[in-house]
Structure 1
Amino acid sequence: MESTSAGENIAVLRKTRDISQAQLGRAAGLSVSYVSKIETGLRPVTPAVAAACAKAMNVTTARIYGQPYRDRSQTEVERLDALRTAVRRHTLPKEDVPDPKTLAADVKRAAHLRAEAEYLELLDILPTLLGRATATAFAAGGDAVAWGQVADLYGCAYAVAHRLGEPDLADMIVSRQQWAAHQTWNPDAEAAASWNEAGTYQSAGHYDDGLTIVDRAIVQYERGGGSEPSHAVVLGSLHLRGVVLASRHKDAAATEAHLTRARDLAAKLPQKKDTLLHNLTFGTGNTALYELAAHIELERPDQAVSMATPLQKKPPAGLKPSRIGRLHIDVARARLAIGDVAGAEDSLKAAFKVAPEMSELHPMCREVVRVLFVMHQRTRPELMAMARRVGLTD
């Protein structure tokens, strides 16, 4: 399969617009040397760089990254089409109302698959499950639990669409999640929907708008949020989303403000491990992972590396593969930034081991692999294998 990287896509888009590297650099706030290095694969295209280049050339960040990265199998295409149909028919479910216990178990299984980063298996069950949950909610009227299940399933669907590189579908799913959350008074579901809405702005590189969504959701939730511990989990997760958006926006003060609030909320949780609620994971462990990632976005990779060893050696309790895999990818980014090529490769191997599907699809995993591949590492069999898995080579 022929595949292009983010840097190659930037070069092609720049040339087709008859823009020089100097012109792109000025528009995106990058040096000519940096533009040259990302185009040739000597530096990774970070989220902030992708956003800046996308804005400068009036394209989407998905186009910069070349999503989706791989040819779809016929089965995957059919599953995605089925999900689109289910999302489109959100008020017209074709499925019957199932047994309540069976539905509850299936919703729990969907949340488990999302947390385990088993996206293709989750995609297989979502269309029918969404229909059954929606039929149940309509039959139950304004029941908060029933509509909360629908909202949670849309949260799972968002994760699938986001990771499979389908931004338009992800946007539509978020609107459906908000619709479900608004069918009854359910502040937790509404906040979870806002968390994903801010995620669509994050994916598009519109970090300031995403921060506005987060700040508005925090104010609204604080006015009428749920009881502990759900209050701390939901509110803390919103602050963690704020950490990502603020750090990518290069706003160190806002990053620290969201981190401080997240730490305070995490300290209020009675249990010693992170909690998963409404597809939101929160606690001291996940807060530490977000802090590490923020150091990278704020160009402090040495601080990220100093945090990495204890977190990788003994990952915080309660964190699922989707979060641990992301930890290893972030550490790979940090180690590459300080010139630790071997350490970056080891971290990538750990990511593929704990969360293979996510690692194959994650833009920054792909970017670190690409840089290592270009840096005269082609003879390393394990690196070659990773390059094939992310679609960088046949």
Structure 2
Amino acid sequence: MSATQVPGPGANVAARRKELGLSQVTLARRAGVSVSLLSKIEVGDRALTQGVGAALARAMNLTLDELLGSAPEANLNDLNWAIRRFDIPGEPPEHPENLQREVDELNQLRWNTELSKVLLRLPGILTRVTNHAHLTGEPKAWGLVADVYGVIYWLAARHRWMHLAELATLKQRMAAERADPIAAIVAARDDAGTFLNSGDFSGGLAVIDRAIVQAESTLTGQDRAFGLGVLHLRGLTLAGRLKDKQTTQKHIDAAWRMAEEIPEEIAKHGMQFGPEQTATHVISTASDMEQHRSAVETGESLIRAGMTLPANRVAPVYMNLGRSQLALGDQEGTLESLERAWATSPEMAAVHPTSLELTRVLVSKHKRSNERLTKIAQRAGITL
């Protein structure tokens, strides 16, 4: 297997650097990373994490999306048409009593990471819930609109369609303002996600800090634990990408306190929170903070206990576990984790930057043919 011409998020770094006429030393200095790390990322000996990717993108005056590369966009004309008509009332749906069930089914497809089916259903569902909300003006109806835009944000983020993700969260916030406080909290969480996906981690933390103040003053009971919980999970992820240990720990501690008030996972407005969700985010952030043994231990403990989470959370657990296993030199463990991620959620594994980057590095490191790795690489569209 060749260590060159292996596609994946990290494979763009050398090409972009050379296009700009930058040496490795210059780029590394600008980005605040070591020349050794940059060199290893470029040749495929180290995985490109989103935190390092954001630093390199800023140093080259690129967006993180441009550096990582985007999945090819499917035909989004119908969805874009429905989004444009947010403020234009249309024909009311024939069976408004079915709208909640339709949105619930859409979220189930999201949790199962059936991306193609989600995209297929989105335009029609968005049109129907939007027209119904205009007709009734009820907060519950606008809550459904906000929920559908939350799904659009999720789909766009998975494919790294960043402009669509930002547009979706804008509409989501507008709908949530007409809905209820929890819808507004979920919208703020997704808004911070656009900062996360673009590499603006400090900007995302500012959004979270503002939303936490709002949640603390407006929510009570289980809604308060849920709302603050999902915000702190986003906060710990953002702070972890910044390598801000103090702020990260603050959000981790707060998230666990909120999780203690919720004995099992609950879902509101398409978002889930509970002890297992908290554990998955702690694993990811431990990997971001290069606390790899802690990430592996926590991940293996969660897996042994038996996860009840849906595929959209289980697959990232395996990806983040693989990230830390790779950093610790456990290539066999990384490959096994990748296989589990593909088995759990093939559509997500095919587009997720962590999955693609782990595959790229494994391909570069393997000097002999490996049937299991070859199968994953072929499914990911990586040329051996």
Q: Which TM-score applies when normalising by structure 1?
A: 0.93
Q: 1:129 and 1:217 mapped to 2: Cα distance?
A: 28
Please state if 1:109 is matched with 2:105: yes
Q: Which runs of 5+ in 1 are unaligned?
A: none
Task: State the secondary structure of the residue aligned to 2:329.
Answer: coil
The aligned residue for residue 218 of structure 1 is 212
Residues 8 and 353 of structure 2 are in contact (CA less than 8 Å); yes or no, is this contact kept in structure 1? no
The aligned residue for residue 134 of structure 1 is 130
Residue identity matched to 1:153: V
The aligned residue for residue 87 of structure 1 is 83
Residues 7 and 360 of structure 2 are in contact (CA less than 8 Å); yes or no, is this contact kept in structure 1? no
Q: Give percent identity, aligned residues only.
A: 36
The structural deviation recorded for 1:307 is: 1.4
Task: State the secondary structure of the residue aligned to 2:103.
Answer: helix
The aligned residue for residue 235 of structure 1 is 228
The aligned residue for residue 285 of structure 2 is 294
Residue identity matched to 2:50: P
Residue identity matched to 1:215: D
Aligned in 2, Cα 1:129/1:299: closer, same or farther, shift over 3 Å? Answer: same
The structural deviation recorded for 1:36 is: 0.9
Correspondence for 1:28 among 31, 38, 50: 31
The aligned residue for residue 183 of structure 1 is 178
Residues 145 and 175 of structure 2 are in contact (CA less than 8 Å); yes or no, is this contact kept in structure 1? yes
Residues 114 and 156 of structure 1 are in contact (CA less than 8 Å); yes or no, is this contact kept in structure 2? yes
What is the CA RMSD across the aligned residues, in angstroms?
Answer: 1.5
The structural deviation recorded for 1:129 is: 0.5
Residue identity matched to 1:264: R
Q: 1:286 and 1:237 mapped to 2: Cα distance?
A: 9
Structure 1 stretches of 4+ moved >4 Å: none
Task: State the secondary structure of the residue aligned to 1:6.
Answer: coil
Which gives a bigger RCO, structure 1 or 2 (Cα 8 Å, sep 6+)? Answer: 2
Q: Which TM-score applies when normalising by structure 2?
A: 0.95
Q: 2:103 and 2:68 mapped to 1: Cα distance?
A: 32
Task: State the secondary structure of the residue aligned to 1:229.
Answer: helix
The aligned residue for residue 51 of structure 2 is 48
The aligned residue for residue 257 of structure 1 is 250
Q: Give CA-to-partner distance per residue, 1:125-150, whole Å, 9 cap, x none.
A: 11110010011101112x11100000
Q: 1:161 and 1:300 mapped to 2: Cα distance?
A: 30
Q: Give CA-to-partner distance per residue, 1:225-248, whole Å, 9 cap, x none.
A: 2x4323222210000000100000
Residues 119 and 357 of structure 1 are in contact (CA less than 8 Å); yes or no, is this contact kept in structure 2? yes
Q: 1:255 and 1:338 mapped to 2: Cα distance?
A: 22
Task: State the secondary structure of the residue aligned to 1:276.
Answer: strand
Please state if 1:307 is matched with 2:298: yes
How many pairs align?
380
The structural deviation recorded for 1:389 is: 2.0
Residue identity matched to 2:252: L
Q: 1:166 and 1:113 mapped to 2: Cα distance?
A: 19
Q: Which runs of 5+ in 2 are unaligned?
A: none
Q: 2:189 and 2:316 mapped to 1: Cα distance?
A: 18
The aligned residue for residue 282 of structure 1 is 273
Residue identity matched to 1:174: T
Residues 377 and 383 of structure 1 are in contact (CA less than 8 Å); yes or no, is this contact kept in structure 2? no
Residues 3 and 391 of structure 1 are in contact (CA less than 8 Å); yes or no, is this contact kept in structure 2? no
Task: State the secondary structure of the residue aligned to 1:281.
Answer: strand
Q: 1:197 and 1:137 mapped to 2: Cα distance?
A: 22
Q: 1:306 and 1:163 mapped to 2: Cα distance?
A: 27
Residues 111 and 310 of structure 2 are in contact (CA less than 8 Å); yes or no, is this contact kept in structure 1? yes
Residues 89 and 134 of structure 2 are in contact (CA less than 8 Å); yes or no, is this contact kept in structure 1? no
Q: Give CA-to-partner distance per residue, 1:43-88, whole Å, 9 cap, x none.
A: 11100011001100011111111111xx55xxx32xx221122112
The structural deviation recorded for 1:310 is: 2.0
Residues 274 and 281 of structure 1 are in contact (CA less than 8 Å); yes or no, is this contact kept in structure 2? yes
The aligned residue for residue 345 of structure 1 is 335
The aligned residue for residue 320 of structure 1 is 310
Q: Give CA-to-partner distance per residue, 1:4-56, whole Å, 9 cap, x none.
A: 33232111111111110000000111111111111111111100011001100
